[in-house]
Structure 1
């Protein structure tokens, strides 16, 4: 069952399962226009050994009424920290999908390595964004083009896969958002890359480095792995793992493998 809590004047959806007696809580953060159901298949592999808090961003929970005030990544950071404080979560490891990673990195910087000792990023574009991606997030910000841009993104996420759990989530569960939310997602993603250059640059700028692991299936290009390897050489606290998945959603498509990667990160 999804619970809700009113924090910072808005309703935040979440659930809280399992107990962490000897280690940090795992906090699962979805991408834009997705909710905590993105982690339904991963959750059973985690909650027997960890306390797991799954978070919905403001406007992404049971009530999808568009919010009057504007907001973005900084408010997502504020909301998530407020929720974890209210739940009396002390040390925690964010496990974020896609551009939920910007929130993960923002919390890591604000709270420090003692409270956020590690981060796991799932399938985030770690380099400066390709031109076609930049064009897509800009198209999301126009009323004339946002629907086609959303459709194109969905197709790229599925990458012609017929994986039923991924299709179930992307085509049927991840709904209820109109132009307001999709335009905001495009704006905030574009702003994050414009501000930091890339997630790798953002990680390198953290005041306190700590173990970070990127787990991904896309894009399927050897040069992408080479960029990761070079970044790891310069930053030994960083590691990565390419999975043999078909889609942009390894946590749905390959939950057992992702859970193993989380255990690897926690052992570093």
Structure 2
């Protein structure tokens, strides 16, 4: 385990594997780096992997009571700098994609590609926006539990169930309210993630890997966007939850590897099993 400090707070991250570009695994709000415990070993076969605990999450300390999206981006930049990595591809879960996008804005060609995992990349539907507001209210716990029920519906994977209930369930009122506030603010400011990605100049090769929802219209809309924006790819995974990295880590690592091979001409060849 490695660490750096941001505003006096200790930030911890795993640093495993070798090979450029380095993969920067970014959890979402109220999520620790534990969510990548299966995917990172497979990905580190061909690439160096940095797996971060966000400020106030997992084993990282909270830098202060008012930290926000900007604080998180500054923290990710500090990890990149401390690691000495020259080129970094963010692999961002859910709304961690906003931070990945901002890293590209700030660091330019040092971020040669983006990998987005199970993110709400289209216009957010009204029920989602209502849930964000509810997370900021005195009814935050009911709103959180409603999300948990939605995410676990039809899911039988013990790893996913344990992660949602034990890891995400360990965060309290302050962090869930912060999550609702910060996610709502960035959607209000930037529109949909696809809109925000399309403003990057020059565009950056981007892969969206997701498993839910099953709605074919959701996939069709992303494919339509890809047809007019050739730098964007979408691939749907055969997983039952919003956390396919806990269900299909080998397949996800292989798809990420093939995407980087094509986009950046990095590592030809396949994957061997990770060390045990």
Shorter-chain TM range is: over 0.9
**Which ranges of 4 or more aligned residues in structure 1 deviate by more than 6 Å?**
none
Question: Match for residue 10 of structure 1?
Answer: 9
Match of 1:193?
Answer: 187
Is 2:56 aligned against 1:62? no
SS of the aligned residue for 2:95 comes to helix
Q: Which deviates more from structure 2 when the two are superposed, residues 98-107 or residues 218-227?
A: 218-227
Residues 25 and 89 of structure 1 are in contact (CA less than 8 Å); yes or no, is this contact kept in structure 2? yes
Cα deviation digits, residues 156-214 of structure 1 (max 9, x gap):
22222111111121112334321111000001111111111100011001122121010
Query: How big is the alpha-carbon RMSD for the aligned residues of Structure 1 and Structure 2?
Result: 1.4
Q: For 1:65-123, what per-residue CA distance to the aligned partner results, in whole angstroms no more than 9, with x for missing partners?
A: x65431211211111011110111110111011011111101011100x2000000000
Q: Using structure 2 for the length normalisation, give the TM-score.
A: 0.91
What residue number does 2:75 align with? 79
Q: Which runs of 5+ in 2 are unaligned?
A: 264-276
The CA distance in 1 between the partners of 2:60 and 2:191, in whole Å, is 34
Judge conservation of contact 1:11–1:61 (CA < 8 Å) in 2: no
TM-score, normalisation: structure 1: 0.93
Aligned equivalent of 1:29, options 20, 26, 39: 26
Equivalent-residue separation in structure 2 for 1:238 and 1:39 (angstroms): 23
| Equivalent in the alignment of 2:270 | none
2:11/2:60 contact within 8 Å kept: no
**Residue matched to 1:125:** 120
Which of residues 132, 138, 154 is equivalent to 1:137?
132
Aligned pair 1:171/2:170, yes or no?
A: no
Matches of 2:12 and 2:98 in 1, distance apart?
19
CA-to-aligned-CA distance 1:194-236 (integer Å, 9 cap, x gap): 1111000110011221210101111111111111111111210
User: Aligned runs of 1:145-160 on 2, under 5 Å?
Assistant: 145-160=139-154
Instruction: Tell me the matched-pair count.
Output: 262
Decide whether the 8 Å contact of 1:8 with 1:79 is kept in 2.
Answer: no
Matches within 5 A, 1:46-61: 46-61=43-58
3-state DSSP of counterpart to 2:170: coil
| Structure 1 gap ranges (5+) | none
Cα distance change on mapping 1:85 and 1:104 into 2, 3 Å: same
Distance 1:51 1:190 in 2: 33
